[in-house]
Structure 1
Amino acid sequence: MGNISISSQLTDLDTAVEKIEAGEFLVIAADESVLTQLPSGNWIGGSIPYFMGEQGGTVSKEQVFIQTVEGIQGNAQPRITPYDVKSINRIAQDAPDNGFTIVILPAGTDVHADYAKNAPGYDNMFFTPIVGWISGMHLDDVENSKAQTVFGPGAMMMDDKAIAMHVALPENQVANVQTINLFEQGKGAKIRFDQTGFNVDACTIDGQPSSLTQYVKDNNIDTRLPLVADYNGINVNVSIQSVNADNIDLYAPVFADVEYQFATPVADYVQSFNQALETQDTKNTAFSCNCILNFLYSELEGKQTSNLIGPITFGEVAYQLLNQTLVYMTLDNQ
């Protein structure tokens, strides 16, 4: 078995069709209108029209971002597996002993919520690298469309299932998962919720029954800052999608009886993000995705993020679900 690598390119529909028909193993990100035109083959896909390409950040409903798994030989072919809310807990058990898994989950679904809440406790989790992203749609279309994933072998669109590609590596290679998160818990009010969900309002704030919507409005909270929970020493962000008249929509669910605080403000979002990138060794990067909110708040359209190119998404996976975090995976010799 030769070394595995992943090449990435932002390209067009015709190129995507050619690569699928050639039998290549692909991870594809594109707007739903493009995904529905792709033939069956060795690929997984998810809906998103935001990308970080070689020329910089791009918004397009016509272009296609393709990550091609190269170096596959013989019987060691990647496995493509769909997962629903009842089977997603098997994802780490299905992973190869030495390799990695790329997963795409549709935003706002039960399988998304289950992964967000329970992935750290799934059997075998953290033994094999799992990276991936949350599919979505153009922000103008949030009210009237659903996030999609695609089971490539059947060219089957799915709005309620995750899709994963499990890739084995030779003994001399290892996959390593890295993240860049600018945020940590702030010093403000401690917020708890009675219910788990993507849409919230009722909560306790420093122990007193309250409305989160009213609290955000009364205190002029900068909603570019996520709610942050400390999960065993790891800061996990829950990002705000929109503040409505009497509730708040989130990009990831908050969980009942978990303590959240709004993140410490970041003085200069763009500068902080670029500084964080400069401290990372990204030369062997094989996979990358970044959050739609980093894209928006760092004004990345037309700008480049080092050599890290990939889909810009509604959430990121580095073993567990993350928000407002850049995730990348390197393939290194060992």
Structure 2
Amino acid sequence: MTVAGLERSLFDRDAVAAMIAAGEALILAGEEHLLASLPAGRWIGGTIPYFMTAEAGGTFDRERLFVQRLPQGASVHWQGLLDRDALPRLDATGPDNGYTVILMPSQSEVHRDFALHAIEWPGLFRRPLVGWVTGVALDQVGIDTPRVFDGATATASADRAVVMHVALPDDRHARVDIVNLFTQADGPALTFDEGDGGFTVEHVNVDGVRRRLVDHLAEQGIDTRLPLVADYNGAMINVAIANIDAATGRVTFFAPAFPGTIYRFAAPVEDYERAFAAQIAPRTGDLAFGCNCILNYNYAGLEGRHTGDVTGPMSFGEIAYILLTQTLVYLTIERD
């Protein structure tokens, strides 16, 4: 029996192992050594030590695991690891009614393929798809390796995605929502050419004039904690800056900048905690999954602060059908 209010929370390793032994189906997040120590069972997991919790708000924790239980009446339809060749067909093993959770390691080839090409894959929108990009402690980036875990086989991977298809009863359905606090500021239109588009760029067209992006950033004094924002058919989608290499003039993003799309830098957000609470839509269903971005945690000082009532890991990328950054994603289960 799940204790009310603890469907999504932090637990020590032994408590999680007991849940697995009892046959519970779980989505887990935590440090690699904790995930690697768990018994086989109906769970998938990914590495990250940052979380949003109901009890303490934003939390950095290397000794506990964040647990998201499957909602009442749901069941695991299929789970497993997919390499980059199999990933475009991820919908094929899913249920007629349900949703899919996918975790993928940051900077892996499956991460790149999903970011660049998922929108083209047949069946991508057949059922709700949510998930997150796994990572490591920020002071260990480039040292530790992000991984995912398939609990069914107790297997870890740094180069494959792990997928869990969840089946729902016929009288229920899953719904995906996102909260993006960022809107376009009144800056110039920025576009990227076919040859430059992707995770790393050098040049940008500023109101049609081609120049180096690093020069534009420096001359305009742009706060690079703010993402580029584009209007994707009415939805504001972010491209966050990951790194600037002053020596080469190359700028790396957490998500690809697509050629021909008009971007502008975001307007500042005054109070992240209050803004998240205001924008999370009233729900009639049960919250089954949530994640938020490590950049929101880091840049907005969310340690000890809340993002409404949505809890979950703070990730290196969020997934709501496509790859997102600096965005909160959540999934609810509604009754028909």
8 Å Cα contact 2:73-2:168 kept in structure 1: no
Whole-angstrom CA distance in 2 between matches of 1:127 and 1:28: 25
Whole-angstrom CA distance in 1 between matches of 2:331 and 2:17: 26
1:277-303: CA deviation from partner (whole Å, max 9, x where unpaired): 3x4437621111111122223322112
> Counterpart in 2 of 1:259?
262
Unpaired stretches in structure 1, ≥5 consecutive residues: none
8 Å Cα contact 1:202-1:210 kept in structure 2: yes
Q: Does 1:8 align with 2:8?
A: yes
CA apart distance, 1:125: 2.2
SS in 2 for 1:221: coil
8 Å Cα contact 1:33-1:61 kept in structure 2: no
1:53-74: CA deviation from partner (whole Å, max 9, x where unpaired): 222111011110011225458x
Q: Does 1:25 align with 2:25?
A: yes
CA apart distance, 1:307: 2.2
- Of 261-270 and 179-188, more deviation after overlay is shown by 261-270
8 Å Cα contact 1:92-1:122 kept in structure 2: no
> Counterpart in 2 of 1:276?
279
- Of 211-220 and 257-266, more deviation after overlay is shown by 257-266
Shift in CA distance, 292/97, structure 1 to aligned 2, threshold 3 Å = same
SS in 2 for 1:33: helix
Query: Which amino acid in 1 is paired with 2:122?
Result: D
SS in 1 for 2:33: helix
> Counterpart in 2 of 1:46?
46
Whole-angstrom CA distance in 2 between matches of 1:251 and 1:134: 10
* Superposition pairs of residues 161-180 of structure 1, within 5 angstroms: 161-180=160-179
CA apart distance, 1:48: 0.5
Whole-angstrom CA distance in 1 between matches of 2:179 and 2:284: 12
8 Å Cα contact 1:111-1:162 kept in structure 2: yes
SS in 2 for 1:293: helix
* Superposition pairs of residues 102-181 of structure 1, within 5 angstroms: 102-181=101-180
8 Å Cα contact 2:50-2:61 kept in structure 1: yes
1:306-332: CA deviation from partner (whole Å, max 9, x where unpaired): 321111111111111111111111111
8 Å Cα contact 2:176-2:330 kept in structure 1: yes
Percent identity, aligned pairs only, is 40
1:243-298: CA deviation from partner (whole Å, max 9, x where unpaired): 33233332222234433221233344443333223x44376211111111222233
Q: Give the counterpart of 2:297 among 295, 298, 303.
A: 295
Between the two proteins, the alignment pairs up a number of residues equal to 327
- Of 14-23 and 54-63, more deviation after overlay is shown by 14-23
1:161-183: CA deviation from partner (whole Å, max 9, x where unpaired): 11111011111111111111112
CA apart distance, 1:11: 0.9
Shift in CA distance, 318/298, structure 1 to aligned 2, threshold 3 Å = same
TM-score by length of 1: 0.90
TM-score by length of 2: 0.90
> Counterpart in 2 of 1:220?
221
8 Å Cα contact 1:98-1:168 kept in structure 2: yes
8 Å Cα contact 1:251-1:315 kept in structure 2: yes
1:148-169: CA deviation from partner (whole Å, max 9, x where unpaired): 1111122111111111110111
SS in 1 for 2:14: helix
Shift in CA distance, 131/6, structure 1 to aligned 2, threshold 3 Å = farther
Unpaired stretches in structure 2, ≥5 consecutive residues: none
Shift in CA distance, 71/62, structure 1 to aligned 2, threshold 3 Å = same
- Of 318-327 and 224-233, more deviation after overlay is shown by 224-233
Query: Which amino acid in 2 is paired with 1:32?
Result: E
Query: Which amino acid in 2 is paired with 1:118?
Result: H
